[in-house]
């Protein structure tokens, strides 16, 4: 009988294989979804879509909210629709 660690590793391997298959089969970017979840008793937001899921906790979200104008300015400067191709690249 496999040990608990081996069972956990096999479970995680299956999860990663399923995620990999889902990401590879995505023909067009799906609209991201945001779900309120909990991690070790702390509230988090989990972001899922045609990318590897990630979570942000309350402290990081509060920091992002505090500097949101800077985030918007960064996105404006670096968004694909605003980039102009150059002869160098």
In this predicted model, what pLDDT tens digit does every residue of 21-53 receive, in sequence order? 877 776 666 689 999 999 999 999 999 988 889
What pLDDT sits at residue 82?
55
Can you give the residue ranges of every domain in the chain? 29-80
* pLDDT surpasses 70 at 88: no
What pLDDT sits at residue 24?
79
Q: Taking CA 26 as the corner, what is the angle to CA 73 and CA 54, rounded to the nearest 5 degrees?
A: 50
Percent over 70 (pLDDT), the chain: 82
First-to-last alpha carbon distance for the chain, in angstroms, is: 56
26: nearest Cα among 54, 52, 56, 45: 52
Report the chain's mean pLDDT, rounded to a whole number: 86
What pLDDT sits at residue 50?
81
Percent over 90 (pLDDT), the chain: 62
């Amino acid at each position: 009988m496999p040990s608990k660690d081996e069972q956990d590793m096999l479970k995680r391997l299956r999860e990663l294989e399923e995620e990999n298959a889902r990401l590879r089969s995505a023909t067009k970017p799906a609209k991201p979804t945001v779900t309120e979840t909990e991690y070790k008793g702390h509230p988090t937001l989990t972001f899922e879509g045609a990318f590897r899921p990630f979570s942000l906790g309350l402290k990081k979200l509060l920091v992002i909210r505090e500097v949101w104008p800077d985030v918007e300015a960064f996105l404006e400067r670096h968004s694909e629709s605003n980039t102009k191709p150059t002869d160098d690249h």
